[in-house]
Amino acid sequence: MIQLTPQQQRAYMSDYLENGWREERMSFSSVSLEPGYIDGRINVEHFQMPGDGQFHFSAQSAMIWISQLGIIYGCWDNQLTEKVGEVYLRDLDIKFKRPINITEEVRFEGFFPKHCKKQLSKDLVYYKNGQIHVEGGAFTGTASFLVPIG
């Protein structure tokens, strides 16, 4: 087995994965909800320019905003006025089919039909395999969340 030196490791590493994601600043520009559905639009306010000179919405950032979508939907769906505890992302299965290069109004959609929701106890709700679509199917998959409600 070959041991890489720190310099050899650095030569292979992505600056974005090491530092760039920490520099990103994103926020919801809007969030709309109805039973079984949430639509959140994300604006990218600051990012590190990759070596190819074009912004790419990363897998790491997508996971953060999918989590936020689940938190907001779970709280809203259970008539909470604020988050009462930590919401846990239990499962995330996502496919990155094509790059997302826009920085305004990146659309994140979550579909949570009634059969996805299960009350585990008086204080805990589980959303299983909600469908996630980002920017018209560029990223798609499923996500499951545990939401404390009491």
pLDDT tens digits, one per residue of 50-105: 778 889 999 999 999 999 999 999 999 999 999 999 999 999 999 999 999 999 99
Regarding predicted confidence, which is higher, 15 or 78? 78
Q: Give the integer Cα–Cα distance in Å for 110 and 23.
A: 26
58-34-29-126 Cα dihedral, nearest 10 degrees:
-40
Per-residue pLDDT at 53 = 86
Which domains occur in the chain, in start order? 25-148 (3.10.129.10)
Per-residue pLDDT at 8 = 94
All residues at 6 or more sequence positions from 87 whose CB lies less than 8 Å from its CB, including other chains:
67, 70, 71, 74, 75, 145, 146, 147, 148
Radius of gyration of the chain from its Cα atoms, rounded to whole angstroms:
18
